[in-house]
Structure formats: C-alpha cells, structure tokens
Structure 1
Amino acid sequence: MLEQDLSALVAFRNATDASNLLGWSTQRDPCSWQGITCINATIGSSNGSVSEIRERVFKINLPGVGISGAVPAGVLGSLDELTVLSLRSNLLSGPLPGDLIKCRKLRSLVLQRNRFTGPITWDFQSWPRLVRVDLSYNTLNGSLPQSLEGLPRIKIFLVQNNSFTGKIPAIQRGSSIVDFSVANNSLSGQIPQTLAQLPPQDFSGNLDLCGRPLGFVCSAPVSPEPTPSRPAAPTQTKPGRRLSLGAILALVIGDVAFLAVLTTLFMLCYWHKQHKREISAASARSPKPKAEVSSSDDFTREFSSSDKSAEAQAGQLVFLKTSKNNFSLEDLLRASAEMMGQGSLGTSYRAVLEDGQMVAVKRIKGVELGSKEFEKRMAVFGEIEHQNLHVPRAYYFSKTEKLVVTEFIPMGSLAAQLHGGETQQSISLDWSMRLRIALGAARGIACLHESLGGQVVHGDIKSSNILLSRSMEARVADYGIAQMLGPGSESALGPVGYRAPELSATRKLTQQSDVYAFGVVLLEILTGKAPWRSNHSGEMLDLPRWVQSVVREEWTEEVFDQGILRFSEEEMVEMLQIALVCVATLPGDRPKMRNVVKMIEDVRNWGTGGEELSSEELKSMDRP
C-alpha cells in the first residue's frame, strides 16, 4: 500500500478507536482491514513516467461499527483514489473533515446518524462524480453551500434533521435523482423552481419555507417607502393630488359591499353549523339499523331487501369444511361492523357478533362467475389447510352480493406494520421478525402452488394480504379471488407495484407472476419502502427498479431499512439476493416457490419444521 494511504488509515484508527473495535493492526495488510477496499493503481514518478503499481484505498465502508471521536483534519484528503466514504450510524463528532475536497474521485459520501457539528465548508464542485450525499441526523448548522447548484450526477441528497439555515440552493433536479430531503431544519425563503415538483414531506419542518410544493404562498417584498392608501387629513394633501368625489364614493360603496359579503358568509356558516346540529340530534333520536357496516357502504342492503326473486332467496351463508358452523346469516346481519379498508378486489369489514365473536367480511366486486362455479372454487380453497394460510370460513353468493367470511386478525397486515396503518396494535418489526414473516409467507404460497396438482395461483400477493398473528406468524389471505374477476378487469392482473412485467402482454396470472409479487414483498421487508412511489422527477418508479439502481451503484448495504441496520447485514444481503432473483424480468428466470422457501430457510439454517419463537412472551401473545 502507498505510504500516504497507510498513514491516513493509521491516523484515522488512532483518532476513532478503530484499533480496539475493528482489530486494525499494522501487523496485517491494511487492505484486509474490516471496511477497507483497495484497488491496484499506477503511481507516476516525478518525471511523468509510470514507476509501479501500488494498492490504494478505494472504499471506506464502516456503517454502525461503534467508532467514536473526531475525524482528524488533514488525513482523509490524502486518499485521492477514494470513491466511497460510508461512516453512517456511528458516534463520530466534531466538524466535517474539510480536506475531503482533495478526494476528487469521491462518488458516495454517507455520514448520517453521527454527531457531526458545525457548517459545511466543502466546495461541492470539487466532486464532479458525486452521486450520493447523506448528512442527515447530525447537528450541522450554517447554510447549504451554493456550490451544490449544478452538480451533474447527483442522485441522492439527504440533509434532514440538522440545524441548517438560510435558503435552499437551486440543486438541479435531473431525471435520475432518487432521493432528496431537507426536512426538519430551519431553512427559509422560497423553494427553488428546480425542486418545486418534489413531495411536500421533503421540505416539512422548516417553518419559514414557502412556495411549491408546500402550498404556502411567499409574501411579496415590502416596499421600503410605502405610500399611504389614503391621505391622513385634507390639509396634508397637495391640491393636485386631492381625491375626486367619484373616487370617494367608489371607496365608500366598495367598503359597504365588502362588509355585506362578510355578513352573508358569517350567516351561511352559522346556518350550516346549526343545520348539522339538527341532523345529529335527529339521528341520535332515531333507532339504529340492525347492521351498522358503514354509512356510505352498507353491505346488508341486499339481505334486508324485500326482493323475493329466486336468486335472492337462493342466497345463503355457506360454511366451509374447515370452519365450525357457529353463527348464522341472521347473526351476521345483526352484527355491528366497520370498514377496515378498500382494495382492488373489494372492501373489507370487521364484524362483531352479538356474542362478542369477531370475524372479517370481504365484499368482492367485479365477480363474473355463476353461483355453481363460485361455490366450486370456494369449496376448493376451503380444502387447503396450512398454518400460513388465512383460510376462508364461509361465503355468501347472490346476484348482487358476494361475501367471504374469515377469521379476524387484530394485528392487521404486514403493510400496516411496515408502512403505518389502522391496526389495533403496532410492533416495531426487528430483523428476526421480518425474516420469520418472510419464511411463513413463502411457505403459505408454496402450499398453494403445490395444491390440486399445481394448478392454484394466488393472483393478489401484496404486503396488505399477508396478515400477522399476535406471535407475528404470517397468514396469506385473499388467494384465488383475482381469478374470479372478468378477464378485461385491471384488478384481475394484481395490484400496481406487484405486477410482473409480462402481464401487460399476456394478461394472464401465473405462478411465476406470484413469485414476482412475492419478491416485491421481500423488498418491502428489507427496505421498509412502499412498492410503488413517485420519484423526485415525477416519474412513477416501482421498488424493484429502485433497488436495482442502488445495487448497480454498489450501495447494496444502503437499501436496507434504517430500523434493522444493527442486525445481521450478511443475512440481509442474502435475502436481497433472493428477492432480486424473484423479480427477474423473464418468468423463466424466477425460481419456484418451494425453492424460494428452501433458500430462505438456508439464510438461518432453519429446517422445514420452522423456527421456534424466540421467547415465551411472543408465544403468549396468541393467548386470549
């Protein structure tokens, strides 16, 4: 290794206790030290001729290793072959190393979640290859440098949760930008036009910012010498500028009209509020209907109808083989219910029966099957039993209503736990929980694919259809419903963000398209991000494309959810590789679900019997 690189690493080690924490010993080759990557580079002599090839430091990648202290000045700048500096999630303090501007080949600068203080002194134009900057979650202050304007290759710029002040530079947005945030600082002034198309949350927490996309109109600058709207007294008004009688009358009439408009608006608001009170009082005095599903979406209308046609009379609640017939249609009608959510296949409700039993009811829309075919398919799904499947208990079919009744799961879905949602309970999912959920969901889907001679397709795999028991056991729900819809329905192709690329041409759900959708779910588990989002240039970007773009830039470790970074990164990388195989563009390149199960089991050497829960506390969560 070149002497200047070795000296820089030793000085950094001595200042940050890397020797004790990382085992950086000069008795070993520094290129083998944890977090250090080297390349062979040619070293020129003083007369310009090539003298030799030496190892140079290419990357420093030390996320979350516990190093502390201040980065010494005048040290890292000597690493002029450095392209990646990642020191995120440590305890580093003091000012940012100003001599980094000498590392002109730097492409990725990741220093978030440390204790750095002071202003940014760098001239960003010194880094023409820079594509990623993340200084978020420090205590930096001062203004954002104007040299940020015009960076040609920047894709990620994150400085949220600091104490920056002043205006935002007009950073060139570009079509390739992936992530941007200046939230939770003390920035002020108008948001530059180049950034006006970004989401509002990227600027939130800056009380003095205005303009698009926040919706706060920037106030016009005040004139240094304001002209009074009217003269203070007739004696102070020059004869040539006295208001005419017509102008005075116009002002008086305008003021009267303005007061009349205000009075009218006040009376309208008062009447509207009084009218709402009267309606509420009348509603409170009136008897409640027997089934309270939703004021806007009452699925009992079909049942309570006086229609005596043969189709209406034929409708009945049919219990499947796997369920005990312990309530009737009338019990369901008398239940109080509330809407839990709406999806592409219908609306879901939580119904509480009079005996306190809770069930989930899904009202399916767009079904084009006849009653016999519907009953046949429901009977088939009722035959499939697996601990990771959310098996239907009963169904109802009539001309205008198709309902599926299942067990109610109070913990809600994986989507609600990852992205937020209305669940009765919320748990911060650590890595072991996520891995267990992924394995359980994979086993449930594999069971479906292997059932009935391998002919079953789920068709609607998404994180909101992976329900979670109190012990965080995955239960795959809503399987087979998508295939009941008409062939021309967009909903029959699965949810946006989870659709395999070939579906736009074939318009036919397959087990391979199920594997693709499950791969997207794995990426959600790993990244914590939603499957379908607008990037900062207004383009809709699906999660697989975003992850693949980050991996291509050799930032594999940067894709993971911040909440799980302290856990086994090796296991996460293995899971990421499994997910990327599942979302392969060509269906033939995707593995079968039984092989996906085996790959996930191998991540932690789990047997086919599954992993035992890690504590009695988790086991007890399933008890009433």
Structure 2
Amino acid sequence: MLEQDLSALVAFRNATDPSNLLGWSTQRDPCSWQGITCINATIGSSNGSVSEIRERVFKINLPGVGISGAVPAGVLGSLDELMVLSLRSNLLSGPLPGDLIKCRKLRSLVLQRNRFTGPITWDFQSWPRLVRVDLSYNTLNGSLPQSLEGLPRIKIFLVQNNSFTGKIPAIQRGSSIVDFSVANNSLSGQIPQTLAQLPPQDFSGNLDLCGRPLGFVCSAPASPEPTPSRPAAPTQTKPGRRLSLGAILALVIGDVAFLAVLTTLFMLCYWHKQHKREISAASARSPKPKAEVSSSDDFTREFSSSDKSAEAQAGQLVFLKTSKNNFSLEDLLRASAEMMGQGSLGTSYRAVLEDGQMVAVKRIKGVELGSKEFEKRMAVFGEIEHQNLHVPRAYYFSKTEKLVVTEFIPMGSLAAQLHGGETQQSISLDWSMRLRIALGAARGIACLHESLGGQVVHGDIKSSNILLSRSMEARVADYGIAQMLGPGSESALGPVGYRAPELSATRKLTQQSDVYAFGVVLLEILTGKAPWRSNHSGEMLDLPRWVQSVVREEWTEEVFDQGILRFSEEEMVEMLQIALVCVATLPGDRPKMRNVVKMIEDVRNWGTGGEELSSEELKSMDRP
C-alpha cells in the first residue's frame, strides 16, 4: 500500500478508535483491515518517466462499529483514490472533514446517524462523479451549498433531520435523482420547480417552505399600490375623468348579460349530468343481451350477468376499514372498467367510479372456501399493514363471484417495467431503482411471513405481483389468494417459472417456496429476462438454471441486464449470490425472508445498525 494511504488510515484510527476496537494492526496488510477495500492503481514517479502498480484505498465501509470523536483535518483528503466513504450509525462528532474535497473520485458519501455539527463547506462541483450523498440525522446547520446546482450524476441526496436554513438550491432533478429528502429542517422559501414533482414527505417538517408539492401557495410580494381592474364607483375616478351616463349603463347591461349566460351554462351542465345519471341507472337495471356480455371485457357487465343468485342480489361490498371514500356495490357496477390482465388466479380490471375514484378489481376463480372462512381470511389480510404491501380495501363474496378491490397503481408492475406490458407510464429502471424495489419487496414478504405467528404464506410471488408506486416503492400484491383455491388446482401451486422444485411432490405452498419464487424475481431484476429462457442448444430452461449454467461456464457480464452494466458490478454480484441462495434446490438451504432482507440491506448498507427506528425513519431507510 502507498505510504500516504497507510498514514491516513493510522491517523484516522488514532483519532476515532484509540482503543483499536477495529483491530487494525500494521502487522497485517491494511487492505485486509475491517471495512477497508483496495484496488490496484498506477502510480507515476516524480519525473513521470516510471510508473508502478500499487494498492490504494478506494472504499471505507464502517457502519455502526462504535467509532467516535472528530475526524482530524488533513487525513481523509490524502486518500485521492477514495470512491466510497460510509461511516453511518457511529458517534462521530465535530465538523465535516473539509479536506475530503480533495478526493476527486468520490462517488458515494454516507455519514448519516452521527453527531456532525456545523455547516457544509464543500464545493460539490469538485466531485464530478458523485452519485450518492446521505448526511441525514446529524446536527448540521447553515445553508445548503449552491454548488449542488447542476450536478448531472447525483441520484441520491438525503439531508433530513438536521438544522439547515435558507432556500433549497435548484438541484437539476431531470431523470437523475431517484431519492431526495430535506425533511425536518428549518428551510424556507419556494421549492424549486426542478424538484416540484417529488413526494411532499420529502419536504415535510420545514414550516416556511411553500409551493408544490406541499400545497402551500407562496405569497406574492405585496404591490405598493394595486390598480383596480375597473372603477368601483364614479366617485373613485380622478377629477376630469368621470364616467358618462352611457358608459355606466353599458357596464351594468354587460354585467347582467354575463350573469345570464353563466346561469344558462350552469343549468345546461346540471341537466346533462342528471340525464347521464338516469341513463346509467336505467342501464344498470336493464338486463344485457347474452351475446353482448360474452364479447365484453367490462367486468361490470360480466359480473351483473353471471351472478343472478338470491345471495348475490342481497350481497354487499365489504370494506375492511372505514373511510369517507368507501362506495357501494352498485357504484362499482356502474363504473367504467377495462381489463388489465389475466393470471393464474383470476382476471384484473381497472374501474373508474362516477366520483373519479380509480380502483383495481380482481375476479378470483377456483375459490373453494365457504363464505365465513373467506371473510375471516380477508379480514386478517386487511389488518396486516406495511408500506410494501398492497393491502386489499374491500371484497365481495357470493357462490359464483369473488371480488377483491384494491387501490389502483398507475405505474403498473415490476414485470411490466422490466419486460413491457400494460402500464400508464414506462420507466427505464436503473440499478439503484432495482435495488430499492428488491429491498422493498423483500421487506413486504418478510412482514407477511412474520404475521400471525409465522403462519402466512404468499403463494403467488412473481414480478407481476410486485406493483410500483409513483415514488417507485414496491407493493407486494395478491398475497394469500392461492391458499384459497382447491388443493387439486394447478394454480394453487404458484405460477410456472416461479415454482420451487419440491412443489411437484409435496403440492403444498410454504414460506420456503415463497423464498424460491422471490429468488426468481431477484434474477429477473438482475438479468432483465423472463422466468423462462432457452440455452444455446435451444433447450428451455427456467431462469435459475439458465443463470447457473452461465455462471458455471464463466462468471461473465452476460448474466446481467445490459441496461445496468454501467452501474456497480460489485453490488450486482452480491445480489446475484443472494438470489442463487434463495433458489437453492433443497428448501432447508434457503434463508428465511428476514435474513434475505438483512443481506440486501448489507449490499448498500441500508441496515438500521441495530437501532430501534420509528416507522417514518424505517420508511426513509428504504431509500438506496
């Protein structure tokens, strides 16, 4: 190792770990020290004529190891090959290390959950490769540097829970930033237009911020002498400019005519709306011709024509929680609807109610439970709450129809974004987004597995059942439905391509089979490929066998999606290892989902460092 790197590490240890709890010893290679990663770099001589390859420090990763005190000045700046610095969840204090600005190759700066104080003195323009900044949960103050403007590569900027003041710099969001938060500071002024499309929670806790997306309109500067649009009365006009009697009459007649036109328009709109309601009500009461029903994709027509039993006529839509936005079965049947897709468990529709609400409705087929057991299970699923679960809102049960109503997610599913499909908006998923989605989905499934004493099984994990919110948070959908189907149903074994090997013999869904299916989803995220692939000889292989065959031949970039190869291959390799553990042939060799969550958190140090966090803090930690 280069002497300047070794000296910097020893000085850092002496200042922040005087008892040497880390066990850093100069008797061993510093590149093997805990948290230190090196790369080979070319070192030129002073006259430039000779160069050599030496090991240089490019990554310091020491999350939650108990180091404390101030980082001495003039130490980290000498690590000029440093690309990643992660010191989160420690007890570091004092000012931020100003000489870090000399590390021009820095890409990731993670210092959250320490006790750093004072302002940010860095010129961010000195870090042209900077991708990630996380200074959240410190006691930093002062203003956010204007040098943050125009950083095209920055993707993550988190400074929530500090004491920053002043205005937010106009950071160029574009298609670059995937995560941003300045919540819980003392910032003021208008939110820049470049950040106006971000979620409001990213700006909450700043009482003097205004503008989109918070909904607080920024007050316009007071005009010294507002000019009225027209004189309120003749006495307010200037001397010599009094209105004539004809002008006053013209104004009065014009106002009366305007009011008459406006009243007419209101009446026409009311009559039109009332007429439309009468037509809709009559249509709902009138039976549809059988041929029209069979050719329609509208679930309201199919439902109303197929369910004629007395139980159905008396049945009601049951909401799992009380809300002012609840609606009736009749409202749902009058909704405008279109089919979104068909799966092994049923058909999904998008329905737009008359009041503008948009919901998703799933018609489940093959359910063999009685009404009491169905209601009991739906009530249980409605009580399981987690930000990464797509919780059902309501259900309907009759002998011939079973409906589950959920919130409509316009971004569609992970499958649609990866492989193409029905969605209102298509997004190119970069590596940070994919990693964030994987972690969110894993947390949602782990929550299910820990519920009810560890008895819940999802049973239908696949990329099309991982929905994506507008902020690209994963929402795991359709959990527990597979267990409502008859034991002889092929659909009850989960979708082809995601089925664990043991299911062909046991024909019983388990949490271990869920882990296998999630491993296939991870492989989809990494490869961008569908669950079935053909090898070089044309043989059809499921995705786990295809990946394993490529890895056996040679560990090459052929495994990974070409669209993400420009990002961190080291993280991708770690995720690939996690996926391959999940799709192990023997169920006992697969980890539990809570351990899968921990492994994914460790890929990019998203763990909590053993601290107890509030739900809001956990939500913020979902960010990559």
| TM, length-normalised to structure 2 | 0.52
C-alpha displacement at 1:610, in angstroms?
13
Q: Relative to structure 1, is the Cα distance of residues 417 and 147 closer, same or farther in structure 2, using a 3 angstrom cutoff?
A: closer
Structure 1 residues 436-473: Cα deviation after superposition (integer angstroms, max 9, x where no partner): 00000000000000000000000000000000001100
Q: Distance in 2 between matches of 1:260 and 1:327?
A: 37
2:348 partner SS: strand
- Name which of structure 1's ranges 196-205 and 379-388 shifts more when overlaid on structure 2: 196-205
Q: Relative to structure 1, is the Cα distance of residues 214 and 432 closer, same or farther in structure 2, using a 3 angstrom cutoff?
A: closer
- Name which of structure 1's ranges 93-102 and 519-528 shifts more when overlaid on structure 2: 93-102
Q: Distance in 1 between matches of 2:236 and 2:618?
A: 84
1:305 partner SS: helix
1:41 is aligned to: 41
C-alpha displacement at 1:296, in angstroms?
3.3
Q: Relative to structure 1, is the Cα distance of residues 277 and 32 closer, same or farther in structure 2, using a 3 angstrom cutoff?
A: same
Q: Relative to structure 1, is the Cα distance of residues 197 and 277 closer, same or farther in structure 2, using a 3 angstrom cutoff?
A: closer
Q: Distance in 1 between matches of 2:212 and 2:334?
A: 50
Q: Relative to structure 1, is the Cα distance of residues 20 and 611 closer, same or farther in structure 2, using a 3 angstrom cutoff?
A: closer
C-alpha displacement at 1:125, in angstroms?
53
**Percent of aligned pairs with the same amino acid:** 100
Structure 1 residues 224-276: Cα deviation after superposition (integer angstroms, max 9, x where no partner): 99999999999999999999999999999999999999999999999999999
Q: Distance in 1 between matches of 2:191 and 2:323?
A: 59
1:43 partner SS: strand
Q: Distance in 1 between matches of 2:279 and 2:541?
A: 46
C-alpha displacement at 1:532, in angstroms?
1.4
Q: Distance in 1 between matches of 2:606 and 2:95?
A: 46
Q: Relative to structure 1, is the Cα distance of residues 108 and 505 closer, same or farther in structure 2, using a 3 angstrom cutoff?
A: farther
Task: Tell me, yes or no, if structure 1 residue 277 matches structure 2 residue 306.
Answer: no
1:59 partner SS: strand
- Name which of structure 1's ranges 171-180 and 29-38 shifts more when overlaid on structure 2: 171-180
Indicate conservation of the 8 Å contact 2:8/2:76, yes or no: yes
Q: Relative to structure 1, is the Cα distance of residues 238 and 320 closer, same or farther in structure 2, using a 3 angstrom cutoff?
A: closer
- Name which of structure 1's ranges 236-245 and 551-560 shifts more when overlaid on structure 2: 236-245
Indicate conservation of the 8 Å contact 2:182/2:203, yes or no: yes
Indicate conservation of the 8 Å contact 1:322/1:382, yes or no: no
Indicate conservation of the 8 Å contact 2:367/2:486, yes or no: yes
C-alpha displacement at 1:421, in angstroms?
0.8
Indicate conservation of the 8 Å contact 1:499/1:516, yes or no: yes
Q: Relative to structure 1, is the Cα distance of residues 76 and 555 closer, same or farther in structure 2, using a 3 angstrom cutoff?
A: farther
Q: Relative to structure 1, is the Cα distance of residues 491 and 28 closer, same or farther in structure 2, using a 3 angstrom cutoff?
A: same
- Name which of structure 1's ranges 154-163 and 282-291 shifts more when overlaid on structure 2: 154-163
C-alpha displacement at 1:337, in angstroms?
0.3
Q: Distance in 1 between matches of 2:239 and 2:393?
A: 91
Structure 1 residues 560-603: Cα deviation after superposition (integer angstroms, max 9, x where no partner): 10000010000000000000000000000000000000000000
Q: Relative to structure 1, is the Cα distance of residues 4 and 225 closer, same or farther in structure 2, using a 3 angstrom cutoff?
A: farther
Indicate conservation of the 8 Å contact 1:613/1:619, yes or no: no
C-alpha displacement at 1:347, in angstroms?
0.4
Could you say what the CA RMSD is over the residues aligned between the two structures, in angstroms?
15.0
Structure 1 residues 511-569: Cα deviation after superposition (integer angstroms, max 9, x where no partner): 00000000000000000000113445443210000000111112243201000001000
Indicate conservation of the 8 Å contact 2:319/2:326, yes or no: no
Q: Relative to structure 1, is the Cα distance of residues 459 and 101 closer, same or farther in structure 2, using a 3 angstrom cutoff?
A: same
Indicate conservation of the 8 Å contact 1:601/1:607, yes or no: yes
2:553 is aligned to: 553
1:25 is aligned to: 25
1:458 is aligned to: 458
2:310 is aligned to: 310
Indicate conservation of the 8 Å contact 1:167/1:190, yes or no: yes
Q: Relative to structure 1, is the Cα distance of residues 614 and 54 closer, same or farther in structure 2, using a 3 angstrom cutoff?
A: closer
Structure 1 residues 372-425: Cα deviation after superposition (integer angstroms, max 9, x where no partner): 111111011001000000000000011111100000000000000000112110
Q: Distance in 2 between matches of 1:141 and 1:539?
A: 61
Structure 1 residues 483-508: Cα deviation after superposition (integer angstroms, max 9, x where no partner): 11111111000000000000000000
C-alpha displacement at 1:316, in angstroms?
1.6
Indicate conservation of the 8 Å contact 1:177/1:535, yes or no: no
Q: Distance in 2 between matches of 1:113 and 1:162?
A: 10
- Name which of structure 1's ranges 305-314 and 228-237 shifts more when overlaid on structure 2: 228-237
C-alpha displacement at 1:326, in angstroms?
1.8
Q: Relative to structure 1, is the Cα distance of residues 385 and 254 closer, same or farther in structure 2, using a 3 angstrom cutoff?
A: closer
Indicate conservation of the 8 Å contact 2:368/2:485, yes or no: yes
Indicate conservation of the 8 Å contact 2:533/2:546, yes or no: no
Q: Distance in 2 between matches of 1:229 and 1:471?
A: 43
C-alpha displacement at 1:321, in angstroms?
2.7
Q: Relative to structure 1, is the Cα distance of residues 175 and 396 closer, same or farther in structure 2, using a 3 angstrom cutoff?
A: closer
Q: Distance in 2 between matches of 1:598 and 1:161?
A: 24
2:37 partner SS: strand
- Name which of structure 1's ranges 104-113 and 415-424 shifts more when overlaid on structure 2: 104-113
Indicate conservation of the 8 Å contact 1:519/1:583, yes or no: yes
Q: Relative to structure 1, is the Cα distance of residues 307 and 559 closer, same or farther in structure 2, using a 3 angstrom cutoff?
A: closer
Q: Distance in 2 between matches of 1:428 and 1:619?
A: 23
C-alpha displacement at 1:363, in angstroms?
0.5
2:609 partner SS: coil
Structure 1 residues 288-329: Cα deviation after superposition (integer angstroms, max 9, x where no partner): 999999943453357535977442244221000376552111
Indicate conservation of the 8 Å contact 1:382/1:391, yes or no: yes
Structure 1 residues 179-200: Cα deviation after superposition (integer angstroms, max 9, x where no partner): 9999999999999999999999
Indicate conservation of the 8 Å contact 1:339/1:350, yes or no: yes
Q: How many residues align?
A: 624
| Unmatched tracts of structure 2, length 5 or more | none
| Unmatched tracts of structure 1, length 5 or more | none
Indicate conservation of the 8 Å contact 2:64/2:609, yes or no: no
Indicate conservation of the 8 Å contact 2:120/2:142, yes or no: yes
